[in-house]
Amino acid sequence: MFYVSAADKPFDVKAFEAQIASCVTLLASSTARRERARGEKVPNYAPVAEWQTYGATIRNMRFYFAGCALFLLCSLSRAQSKPALPSEAVTVPAAIDHSRVVINADISLPDGSTQRIHAWVDNGNPDLYVSRRVATLLGLAVSCNDHECSSPPPPAINVGGMTIPLVGIKQAKVPLKPVNAASVLAAGMSVEINLPSSVLRHYDVLIDFPGHKFSIGAPGAIHFRGPSGKVQINAENGLIQVPSQIENKKYNLALDLGACISFLSSELFDKLAGAHPDWPHMTGAVGSANMWGLDEEPKWKVMRLDRVQYGPLFLANVALVDFPKDRKEFFEKRAGVPTAGLIGSNALLNYRVGLDYAHATVYFEFGRMFNFPDFDVIGLTLRPEDDGRFTILGVAEFDGRPSVTPGSDGVQPGDHLIAVDSIPVGGSSMGQVWAMLGGTPGQERKLTIERAGRQFKVPANVQHFLAELPDERERKKEK
């Protein structure tokens, strides 16, 4: 009812007097109502100056005036002594590394100090992960079997001054790594904790890809903009499914901003590829499709999807990978609903993506017009290792031939990539290495390769993999 803004600005005497007058007028009206109830004649509205005439005594007026003044003075005192509340939402810089969102976060250590670490915003995964180093710093009890480790979750992390509790999570997963890789959460990423969907679902979230910013706040704290659409959110883990259409048929596609590439179920992928042999396609995970360096990535099928209606958006030229059946079933089970795949961040780098979990709504505000040449690269498939090195898993073909010279004087699976144009790649992230391997088609890069302890250089040209769709080329010709 009353508002005293001393915490935000200097005391305003006139505003204070106006609030007292408002208080007295309100109480006068209340007195008038009581007198009407007793059958006394009073006007509909009795200004303060007319109280003596219409039933309110001077004593009552002084009493109410004093009460109002005391109430407001107490409110003012409380406002002046109370520190300003922290903002309900915070915005921090974000690194977009291999299309993944990485931010700074702080953890509180048992000795009262804090440690800054890198966190991965991973809304497509409900599980919390922490590195072995972080678990040790926090004094968390880590237990392991032959395949993985786990620990109690950290009590909270702090992002931009906002404390984000993690106590609702049953356990944190700790990657089973050698001692010299204790700080590695995921090879090829410089992060030690993730922010999973099970945590993010309690907040408003905004990922500004063009502005390289991340915002998080209490529900209702962020003013979202752009086209919006209702989505399905798993109430238990926060995973998001977006109603979509491909060639006028309806599907669910997950929203996974922690994924650097999009996926489509094998059945639908093969059906579309068979019906549209002119759509650009290739074998081998290069560029943004080179996700983790899994053994099967050199054999992944990659294709450009002409267009997809994704909630309120119409996305064109979307690069996506054939989703193996076992992985698709795993993701579908976690989602709790049938799904045909997922849209990763590679398709949304021009947008500010808002996640309004409380209202099961997503927002896509267009931020820039830029065609990311994420497939104008050297045709290697890489595996980042825990020790910071990069192993070559395979060489993609271009126009029916290996895109990089193979053989004893060239590149072979199992070789290590040491440097690109004499710039060492050891200890770099996947995003940094692929930035080195990208460029304008036809540009030459000198690759330093290591095999059996011997280093040598191999020249390689940047190729334009997954060329534009035919209708896109025709439109450009017409212009």
* Domain annotation covers residue 431: yes
d(CA 381, CA 62): 84
* Domain annotation covers residue 469: no
pLDDT of amino acid 474: 54
pLDDT of amino acid 87: 54
pLDDT of amino acid 293: 97
CATH code: domain of residue 387: 2.30.42.10
The total number of structural domains that make up the chain = 4
Radius of gyration over every alpha carbon of the chain, rounded to an integer in angstroms: 30
Based on the number of CB atoms within 10 Å of its own CB, is 172 exposed (0-12), middle (13-18) or buried (19 or more)?
buried
Are both 360 and 386 inside the same structural domain?
Answer: no
* Domain annotation covers residue 333: yes
Are both 390 and 294 inside the same structural domain?
Answer: no
Q: Are strands 341-344 and 249-256 parallel, antiparallel or unpaired?
A: parallel
Are both 174 and 270 inside the same structural domain?
Answer: no
Are both 289 and 321 inside the same structural domain?
Answer: yes
pLDDT of amino acid 166: 93
* Domain annotation covers residue 215: no
* Domain annotation covers residue 434: yes
Are both 252 and 355 inside the same structural domain?
Answer: yes
Strand partners, 241: 232, 254
Closest CA to 299 of 397, 225, 184: 397
- State residue 61 phi and psi, 5-degree precision: -60, -45
CATH code: domain of residue 361: 2.40.70.10
pLDDT of amino acid 168: 83
* Domain annotation covers residue 188: yes
* Domain annotation covers residue 25: yes
* Domain annotation covers residue 261: yes
Task: Report the length, in residues, of the chain.
Answer: 479
Query: Domain span at residue 402?
Result: 376-464
Closest CA to 94 of 215, 257, 224: 215
pTM: 0.80
pLDDT of amino acid 85: 34
pLDDT of amino acid 458: 98
Of 366, 390, 422, the residue that ends a domain is 366
Contact 297, 393 (CB under 8 A): yes
State CA 293 to chain mean position distance. Answer: 22
Are both 94 and 179 inside the same structural domain?
Answer: yes
User: Which residue type occupies 168?
Assistant: G
Are both 123 and 58 inside the same structural domain?
Answer: no
User: Which residue type occupies 343?
Assistant: I
Based on the number of CB atoms within 10 Å of its own CB, is 279 exposed (0-12), middle (13-18) or buried (19 or more)?
middle
pLDDT of amino acid 471: 57
SS3 142: coil
Are both 339 and 384 inside the same structural domain?
Answer: no
What's the token pair of residue 454? 């011997």
Helices (H), 132-222: 132-137, 197-200
Contact 188, 291 (CB under 8 A): no
Are both 141 and 192 inside the same structural domain?
Answer: yes
Are both 110 and 138 inside the same structural domain?
Answer: yes
Of 335, 366, 397, the residue that ends a domain is 366
CA angle 358, 234, 96 (to 5 degrees): 75
What's the token pair of residue 33? 């109502």
Helix axes 58-81, 13-37, angle to 10 degrees: 140
d(CA 26, CA 20): 10
Are both 430 and 456 inside the same structural domain?
Answer: yes
* pLDDT tens for each residue of the chain, 479 residues long: 333 333 333 444 444 444 444 444 444 444 444 444 445 444 443 333 333 333 444 344 444 444 444 444 444 343 433 333 345 899 999 999 999 999 999 999 999 999 999 999 999 999 999 999 999 999 999 999 988 899 999 999 999 999 999 978 999 999 999 999 999 999 999 999 999 999 999 999 999 999 999 999 999 999 999 999 999 999 999 999 999 999 999 999 999 999 999 999 999 999 999 999 999 999 999 999 999 999 999 999 999 999 999 999 999 999 999 998 888 999 999 999 999 999 999 999 999 999 999 999 999 999 988 888 889 999 999 999 999 999 999 999 999 999 999 999 999 999 999 999 999 999 999 999 999 999 999 999 999 999 999 999 999 999 999 987 765 545 445 44
Are both 236 and 359 inside the same structural domain?
Answer: yes
Helices and strands, number each (H, E), in the chain: 8, 33
pLDDT of amino acid 470: 63
Of 206, 223, 257, the residue that ends a domain is 206
